[in-house]
Chain A
Amino acid sequence: MGVYRWARQRSPWIVHFNAASCNGCAIEFFTAMTPIYDTERFGIINTGNPKHADILVMTGGANHRNARVIKNIFWQMPAPKAVVAVGVCACSAGIFHDCYNMLGGVDKVIPVDVYVPGCAARPEAIIEGILRAAELLAESGGEGVGGD
């Protein structure tokens, strides 16, 4: 369905969840959502609601306690959906990697489509990661990227 792909790339709505993180990437994420960066010009909207979102933006790594929450948010999102891991903690747990309570990066819990490295990731890099995920959404045939 060409028209859906075309629209999907131009209207990526996001939901953000901050897992086990120092909060640095979350602050950079919210910086990216301010009028200075004006993500609405790409159609990006921070919905704050997994049922309305296409892209889950994760900051921080997964641990035993938040794995259930991450899965819950991911499963509430209607397909097609994509996940962007923002910051080195979401990519591979970063500085917390060998802690006894950590599971690792977010990809240990849910399928991740785009990795945005950095400690903390810059707002420009976060926006690029979201737009890359939107391209992946457009390329997917409606089945969703990754799946469960």
Chain B
Amino acid sequence: MNPLFWSWSAVTIATVLGGFLLGGFLTGIDRKLTARMQNRVGPPIVQPFFDVIKLWGKERVMVNPMQLLYANTYLFFSVASLVLLILGWDLLMILFISAFASVALVLGGYSVESPYARIASQREIIQIAAAEPVLVLAMVGMFLVTGDFTAAAIPEHPRPLLVDLPLVFVALLIAIGIKLRKSPFDVSTSAHHAHQELVRGIYTEFAGPTLAVLEVGHWFEMIFFLVFLGLFWAPDWRIAGLLLTSTFILELLVDNISARYTWSWLLKVAWVGGMGLAAVNVAWLYL
């Protein structure tokens, strides 16, 4: 066998296991910190694992068989985008694969009759339309700095990306707030189970093991976007970790101090603010 095959397999297995554990713990830390910010004790850090194991052990109730397909597609492409990012593949292709995961979720919401899930699916499309252009512009900026679209080229670049792409980083904070389903951007559904909007938004008609699959898929999506942000200080992983921790806490703080806004406000912020900042940064690099 090709030695590359073995190293890729090892990275894939490590990413799947590490992403699962890290994603669960990060969600637990999210819930704990949120509780502390609200002057509560909060659940144990391992609470997300309790939830997922419990959901996995529940009766399989599905509105239609397509729900299972879409949930598993969402999980598969979320995992695949993270694995390919760790392997250092082409950023644009990774972005399309992660967008495929979001589209699977939208189709899952549309596959049922429930008006809650359907309206939430429409809103999820708006969220995708808001976040993806910012992500594409960020990748264009990365290309202009490193001269290469692959993720592997970024750690080899001598200067951290943040020096050349500060405005893109700020724009990405908005896009990642949307992707992590944090207030004020959580119009289709919230990352927190107790936040109710359209019942439970796009997750409304998913139950039991299928909901557990979506939950784990969201963990991988979260890790994917945090690793993507980490690329901004890729040469030194300690500073990248510090950057990620502060970004994560900032997202939690914004989540707790802001209310959910309307989808039209979301589009204005993401397109005018996010795309504007990213476009200015890219134009400045181009000139």
Task: Determine which of B57, B60, B193, B203 lies in contact with A13 in the assembled complex, contact meaning CB atoms within 8 Å.
Answer: B193
Q: B35 — nearest CB in chain A belongs to which residue?
A: A40
Binding site for B on A (CB under 8 A): 1, 3-4, 6-8, 10-11, 13, 35, 38, 40-43, 45-49, 51-52, 54, 78-80, 142, 144
Question: How many B residues have CB within 8 A of the partner chain?
Answer: 32
The contact sample of 15 A-B pairs, CB cut-off 8 A, is: A6-B53, A7-B53, A10-B50, A40-B31, A40-B194, A41-B40, A41-B42, A45-B194, A47-B194, A47-B196, A47-B200, A48-B196, A52-B203, A52-B207, A52-B211
* A11 vs B47: C-alpha distance when bound (angstroms): 8
Binding site for A on B (CB under 8 A): 31, 35, 38-43, 47, 49-51, 53-54, 56-61, 193-194, 196, 199-200, 203-208, 211
Closest 6 CB pairs between A and B?
Answer: A4-B57, A7-B53, A51-B207, A78-B59, A38-B40, A7-B54
Closest approach, in angstroms, between the C-beta of A133 and any C-beta of chain B?
A: 14
Task: Determine which of A35, A51, A78, A144 lies in contact with B204 in the assembled complex, contact meaning CB atoms within 8 Å.
Answer: A51
Contact A49 B204 (CB under 8 A): yes
Known: A7-B57, A8-B54, A79-B59. A41 touches B41 (CB 8 A): yes
Provide the residues of chain A in CB contact with B50, threshold 8 Å.
7, 10-11, 43
Give the interface SS of chain A, mostly helix, strand, loop or mixed: loop
Q: B204 — nearest CB in chain A belongs to which residue?
A: A49
Provide the residues of chain A in CB contact with B42, threshold 8 Å.
38, 40-41
Closest approach, in angstroms, between the C-beta of A11 and any C-beta of chain B?
A: 4
